[in-house]
């Protein structure tokens, strides 16, 4: 029997009651992102009554101490919303804590009892969502222990969210997958890539498949090349230790940016349903040409920032950052040229770059269209001095979300002088309402059983396959780091990578 | 030559844009934004500046405000732009606004001017904040220009007539919204939440009584819509009672209680803008901050087509 009061036009999508079990509840991600996102969902009336959150970490705490700690976190990290005491008090009734070492099998027996008690008390109907917000090295022990006590199944549904990184390379990704699949079915596993939860990445799907006018241009015949840029102005800060092990290629390109590229380049799904969308993303990722070792030098560039003056201040080089080896070979910048081997994209380069300590924080996708075959305007050559044709479509993901289309227009006055102009759609000014954070979107999706914006194992496999040859070659290479100044757009070799095909990086 | 010409107003708007562009040249000009034409029919003294400014952020529009007075004045109009600087940005965003003043008599001249003023190819929403205007003969021609008509009964003494008029317009095929209906979305949403759990849904068959408490001497449109919606959703009539509880400036629902021989499901407004949900083992609270007019309009502007649930409620009136 359906709810007779349902009104899909007016009411926000609702999710069933459930218990959310967060491993690593004392950690940074939980306090900065997860709990504020969950509180915000409660504030927006997106939760059913009876939702429960059970935190786990090694630190001994009572339920009340945990609630107090989470209250402080929400007050500190909540963005765009007021903190309401009445609502918090109600929300906090659903917060519980279960301390224990996640490596200790006995802890899981206690957790199982606690989940059952909470289910009884809060009416969660046996639905459980596990969230692995721990060190990646703990993923496998947690999953195995959950399986050992039968927490991989319940009277309702059981799902598990795994944070990236999904392995350190192809091999470790497979090891993780094997361990997970022995305990959970693929349909229970939600691999989170918060980039896909960003409103503007979702808007790429709306832009491509909700409009008929762009699709005919979306192919090798009209597109010269695609540039995806994800730049950060800050350095590694306190993440030096972690970052040293990961590097820009693993931290950004292998997961976030290849997912963005897949969203840009995938074929239209037949329906907007989780598996249909993910099938197309996976197919695209599998179509990426695998580099031969000898091609790595011409298709990939590693960089590391060095000390420089930025904005009147001395910025540290990566090797001077806290927790970083003074001889570190870690890339803080990575750029790659990818090719997609299918009929739509054959021969079209997809340039992806990401880096720390760049001139500004920006993420965007630029689709450079081919030049007109012949210029009828003698004094206005098609190509500009930068080597770029006039038509450029820019999908801005952050910070100023929106879409710009650049084209040429006649400059007012006598004669036929042309100049580029930009037609802008600004997401913020057209839809001024607050966008949910990526974690709000993704948590709600997982509770609703919607995995459209989550990564599937075959997508993870294909992404690792696309970058593994580069990782292999770079691990054997002694890089001459640092090779770019903090506050610059990256190493010269990156420009040269594009110049080989007559292209240049745009300045976002 | 008519005193007010659409073309002249559009020309004034063009001049406004040129002037704004020059003033803001260093910041890269201003961003001209328009997603709908919003026609607001208000009384002469209405202060809707803040509401329009709020709406512009979500629904940048060409706003055409028509102020109606009883003094027999001829139609007059002026054009200008409203701008704001989004936080952290250098470029202002600006929306167009045309302000018209008309008397009940000169309102007859409004439709012909409006036809030339609508932003091309974009939806047109008519917001009737001065319900007496619905009685003006030329209003039918204005409504014919709109994709959707939104009425505001709050503070309107003849609200029973207005409810009938809304139902009549619905029958006539006009896409009509009533902000009294919009005001109860949260109450309806919470009612639905009470029955999300299958075990509580199973108890619905036992419900035979509905009590709605309200804060006005008479149960106003919101209370009546709420009762009609519950009966419609359940597909049966309940023993329905309305009680006054407390007193506020405008109608306000204070509680909704569905009950039967051995069940009770309640939503009760408490202090601090909080509503409590109560059922057998369930107790939960939700924030009900005071909704501003702009928030209600925002909800309606997000639904430009018909609202089938509201249409059913109107049809059952």
Give B93-108 as a DSSP string. Answer: EEEEEEEEEEETTGGG
pLDDT of A387 reads 53
Report the distance separating Cα A332 and Cα A315, nearest Å.
Answer: 15
A503: its two tokens = 């292209």
Strand partners, B81: B96
A257: its two tokens = 């940016």
- Give CA angle at B266 (B261, B268), nearest 5°: 145
Best CA proximity match to A18, nearest among A161, A125, A140, A170: A125
Taking a C-beta distance cutoff of 8 angstroms, is the pair A471, A248 a contact? no
Report the distance separating Cα A361 and Cα A487, nearest Å.
Answer: 11
Q: Which three-class secondary structure state does DSSP give residue B30? A: strand
Report the distance separating Cα B238 and Cα B212, nearest Å.
Answer: 12
Question: Which of chain B's residues have a Cβ under 8 Å away from the Cβ of A49?
Answer: 193, 277, 282-284
Strand partners, A422: A406
Taking a C-beta distance cutoff of 8 angstroms, is the pair A392, A368 a contact? yes
Summarised one tens digit per residue, pLDDT across range A39-75 is 999 888 888 878 899 999 999 999 999 999 999 999 9
Kindly tell me if the per-residue pLDDT of A100 is higher than 80. Answer: yes
Report the distance separating Cα A323 and Cα A333, nearest Å.
Answer: 18
Question: Which of chain A's residues have a Cβ under 8 Å away from the Cβ of B272?
Answer: 86
Q: Which three-class secondary structure state does DSSP give residue B222? A: helix
Kindly tell me if the per-residue pLDDT of A250 is higher than 60. Answer: yes
Q: Which residues 6+ apart lie within 8 Å of B101 measured at CB?
A: B44, B66, B67, B69, B73, B75, B76, B77
The interface residues of chain B toward chain A in range 11-70, judged by CB-CB distance below 8 A, are 31, 33, 35, 56-58, 60
Q: Which three-class secondary structure state does DSSP give residue B279? A: strand
Whether A402 and chain B come into contact, CB under 8 Å, resolves to no
Q: How far is CA B77 from CA B40, B67, B70, B114, B132, in A?
A: 14, 10, 17, 11, 21
Pairing between β-strand B30-32 and β-strand A95-97 as defined by DSSP bridges: unpaired
Best CA proximity match to B238, nearest among B263, B215, B275: B263
pLDDT of A354 reads 97
Question: Which of chain A's residues have a Cβ under 8 Å away from the Cβ of B202?
Answer: 1
**Is cis: bond before A453, omega within 30 of 0?**
no
Tell me which residue has tokens 């021609």: B141
Instruction: Using CB atoms within 10 Å of the CB of residue A311, give its burial: 0 to 12 exposed, 13 to 18 middle, 19+ buried.
Output: exposed
Report the distance separating Cα A194 and Cα A34, nearest Å.
Answer: 12
Q: In chain A, pLDDT over 90 holds for what percent of residues?
A: 60
Taking a C-beta distance cutoff of 8 angstroms, is the pair B210, B257 a contact? yes
Summarised one tens digit per residue, pLDDT across range B212-269 is 999 888 889 999 999 999 999 999 999 999 999 887 777 789 999 999 999 999 999 9
Confidence of residue A432 (pLDDT cuts 50, 70, 90): low
Concatenated DSSP letters of A321-368: STT--TT----SEEEEEEEB-STTTTT-EEEEEEESS-SS-EEEEEEE
Q: What domains are there in chain B, each with its CATH number?
A: 6-146 (no CATH), 183-287 (3.30.360)
Distance from CA of B73 to the nearest CA of A (A): 37
Taking a C-beta distance cutoff of 8 angstroms, is the pair A427, A401 a contact? yes
pLDDT of A376 reads 77
Report the distance separating Cα A489 and Cα A231, nearest Å.
Answer: 9
Whether A448 and chain B come into contact, CB under 8 Å, resolves to no
Report the distance separating Cα A161 and Cα A132, nearest Å.
Answer: 6
Q: How far is CA A471 from CA A230, A291, A295, in A?
A: 19, 11, 13
Which of A9, A84, A433 has its CB closest to that of B287?
A84
Instruction: Using CB atoms within 10 Å of the CB of residue A214, give its burial: 0 to 12 exposed, 13 to 18 middle, 19+ buried.
Output: middle
Summarised one tens digit per residue, pLDDT across range B85-108 is 665 556 666 778 899 999 999 999
Kindly tell me if the per-residue pLDDT of A427 is higher than 80. Answer: no
Q: What is the pLDDT tens value at each position of chain B, 317 positions in all?
A: 557 888 888 888 888 877 777 776 666 666 677 788 999 999 988 888 889 888 887 788 889 999 999 888 888 888 887 776 665 556 666 778 899 999 999 999 999 889 988 988 889 999 999 999 999 999 999 999 999 999 999 888 899 999 999 999 999 999 999 999 999 999 999 999 899 888 889 999 999 999 999 988 888 999 999 999 999 999 999 999 999 988 777 778 999 999 999 999 999 998 767 898 888 777 888 888 888 999 999 999 989 889 999 999 999 87
Best CA proximity match to A224, nearest among A347, A386, A406, A353: A347
Taking a C-beta distance cutoff of 8 angstroms, is the pair B114, B144 a contact? no
Alpha helix (H) residue ranges in B47-184 = 49-58, 110-117, 139-145, 159-171, 179-183
Kindly tell me if the per-residue pLDDT of A412 is higher than 80. Answer: no
pLDDT of A274 reads 86
Instruction: Using CB atoms within 10 Å of the CB of residue A347, give its burial: 0 to 12 exposed, 13 to 18 middle, 19+ buried.
Output: exposed
CB pairs under 8 A between A and B: 102
Best CA proximity match to A303, nearest among A370, A358, A365: A358
Tell me which residue has tokens 């290629």: A249
pLDDT of B58 reads 75
pLDDT of B151 reads 97
Which of A5, A87, A90 has its CB closest to that of B191?
A5
pLDDT of A331 reads 95
Residues of A forming the active site: 256
Stated length of chain A: 508
Question: Which of chain B's residues have a Cβ under 8 Å away from the Cβ of A3?
Answer: 192, 195-196, 201
Instruction: Give the residue on B whose Cα is nearest the Cα of A42.
Output: B286
Whether B145 and chain A come into contact, CB under 8 Å, resolves to no
The interface residues of chain B toward chain A in range 184-223, judged by CB-CB distance below 8 A, are 185-186, 188-193, 195-198, 201-202, 204
Summarised one tens digit per residue, pLDDT across range A176-196 is 999 999 999 999 999 988 888
Report the distance separating Cα B312 and Cα B315, nearest Å.
Answer: 5
Report the distance separating Cα B70 and Cα B53, nearest Å.
Answer: 27
Q: How far is CA B308 from CA B2, B165, B236, in A?
A: 41, 18, 18
- Give CA angle at B166 (B164, B168), nearest 5°: 70
Tell me which residue has tokens 């091609």: A295
Question: Which of chain B's residues have a Cβ under 8 Å away from the Cβ of A426?
Answer: 31, 33, 93
Distance from CA of B159 to the nearest CA of A (A): 24
Computed over every residue of chain A, the mean pLDDT equals: 89
Which of A7, A90, A431 has its CB closest to that of B188?
A7
Which of A3, A86, A429 has its CB closest to that of B192?
A3
Angle between helices A457-475 and A258-265 (to 10 degrees): 130
């Amino acid at each position: 029997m359906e709810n007779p009061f349902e009104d899909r036009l007016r009411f926000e999508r609702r999710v069933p009651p459930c218990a959310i079990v967060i491993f690593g509840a004392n950690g940074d991600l939980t306090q900065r992102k997860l709990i504020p996102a969950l509180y915000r969902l409660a504030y927006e009336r997106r939760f059913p009554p009876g939702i429960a959150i059970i935190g786990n970490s090694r630190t001994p705490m009572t339920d009340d101490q945990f609630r107090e700690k989470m209250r402080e976190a929400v007050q500190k990290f909540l963005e765009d919303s007021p903190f309401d005491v009445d609502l918090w008090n109600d929300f906090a009734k659903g917060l519980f804590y279960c301390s224990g070492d996640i490596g200790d099998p006995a802890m899981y027996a206690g957790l199982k009892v606690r989940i059952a008690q909470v289910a009884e008390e809060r009416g969660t109907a046996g639905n459980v969502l596990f969230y692995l917000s721990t060190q990646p090295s703990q993923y496998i022990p947690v999953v195995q222990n959950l399986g050992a006590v039968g927490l991989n199944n319940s009277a309702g549904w059981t799902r598990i969210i795994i944070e990236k990184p999904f392995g350190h390379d192809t091999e470790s990704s497979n090891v993780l997958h094997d361990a997970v699949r022995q305990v959970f079915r693929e349909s229970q596993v939600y691999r989170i890539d918060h980039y896909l939860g960003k409103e503007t990445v979702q808007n790429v799907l709306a832009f491509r498949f909700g409009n008929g006018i762009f699709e005919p241009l979306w192919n090798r015949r009209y597109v010269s090349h695609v540039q995806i840029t994800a730049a950060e102005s800050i350095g590694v800060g306190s993440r030096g230790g972690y970052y040293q092990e990961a590097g820009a290629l693993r931290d950004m390109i292998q997961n976030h940016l290849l997912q963005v590229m897949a969203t840009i380049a995938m074929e239209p799904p037949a329906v907007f349903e989780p598996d249909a969308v993910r099938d197309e993303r996976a197919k695209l990722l599998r179509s990426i040409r695998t580099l031969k070792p000898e091609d790595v030098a011409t298709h990939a560039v590693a960089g590391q920032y060095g000390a420089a003056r930025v904005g009147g201040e001395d910025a540290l080089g990566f090797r001077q950052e806290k927790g970083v080896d003074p001889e570190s070979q870690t890339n803080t910048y990575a750029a790659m040229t990818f090719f997609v081997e299918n009929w739509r994209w054959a021969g079209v380069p997809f340039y992806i770059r990401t880096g720390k300590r760049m001139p500004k924080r920006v993420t965007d996708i630029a689709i450079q269209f081919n030049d007109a075959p012949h210029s009828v305007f003698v004094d206005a050559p098609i190509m500009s001095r930068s080597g770029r044709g006039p038509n450029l479509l820019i999908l801005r993901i952050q910070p100023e979300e929106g879409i710009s289309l650049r084209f040429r227009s006649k400059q007012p006055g006598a004669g036929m002088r042309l100049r580029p102009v930009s037609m802008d759609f600004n997401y913020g000014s057209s839809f001024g309402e607050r966008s949910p954070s990526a974690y709000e979107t993704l948590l709600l999706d997982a509770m609703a059983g919607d995995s459209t914006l989550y990564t599937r194992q075959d997508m993870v496999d294909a992404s690792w396959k696309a970058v593994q040859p580069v990782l292999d070659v770079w691990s054997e290479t002694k890089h001459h780091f640092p090779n770019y100044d903090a506050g610059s757009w990256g190493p010269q070799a990156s420009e040269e990578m594009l110049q080989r095909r007559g292209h240049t990086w745009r300045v976002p | 030559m008519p005193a007010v010409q659409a073309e002249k107003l559009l020309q004034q708007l063009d001049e406004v844009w040129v002037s704004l562009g020059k003033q803001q040249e260093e910041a890269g000009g201003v961003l001209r934004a328009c997603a709908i034409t919003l026609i607001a029919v208000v009384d002469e003294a209405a202060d809707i500046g803040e509401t329009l400014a709020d709406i512009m952020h979500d629904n940048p529009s060409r706003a055409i405000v028509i102020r109606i007075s009883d003094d027999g004045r001829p139609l007059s109009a002026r054009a200008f732009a409203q701008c704001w600087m989004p936080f952290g940005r250098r470029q202002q965003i600006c929306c167009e606004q045309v302000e018209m003043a008309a008397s009940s008599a000169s309102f007859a001249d409004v439709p012909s001017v409006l036809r030339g003023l609508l932003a091309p190819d974009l939806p047109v929403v008519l917001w009737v904040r001065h319900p007496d205007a619905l009685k003006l003969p030329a209003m039918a021609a204005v409504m014919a220009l709109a994709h959707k008509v939104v009425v505001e009964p709050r503070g309107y003494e003849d609200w029973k007539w207005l409810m009938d008029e809304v139902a009549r317009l619905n029958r006539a095929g006009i896409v009509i919204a009533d902000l009294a209906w919009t005001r109860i979305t949260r109450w309806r949403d919470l009612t639905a939440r009470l029955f999300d759990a299958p075990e509580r849904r199973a108890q619905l068959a036992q419900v035979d009584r509905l009590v709605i408490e309200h804060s006005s001497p008479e149960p106003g449109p919101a209370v009546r819509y709420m009762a009609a919606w519950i009966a419609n959703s359940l597909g049966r009539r309940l023993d329905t009672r309305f009680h006054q509880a407390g007193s506020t400036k405008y109608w306000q629902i204070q509680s909704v209680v569905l009950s039967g021989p051995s069940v009770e499901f309640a939503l009760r407004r408490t202090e601090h803008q909080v509503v409590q949900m109560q059922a057998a083992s369930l107790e939960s609270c939700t924030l009900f901050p005071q909704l501003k007019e702009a928030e209600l309009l925002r909800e309606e502007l997000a639904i430009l087509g018909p609202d089938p649930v509201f249409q059913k409620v109107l049809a059952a009136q």
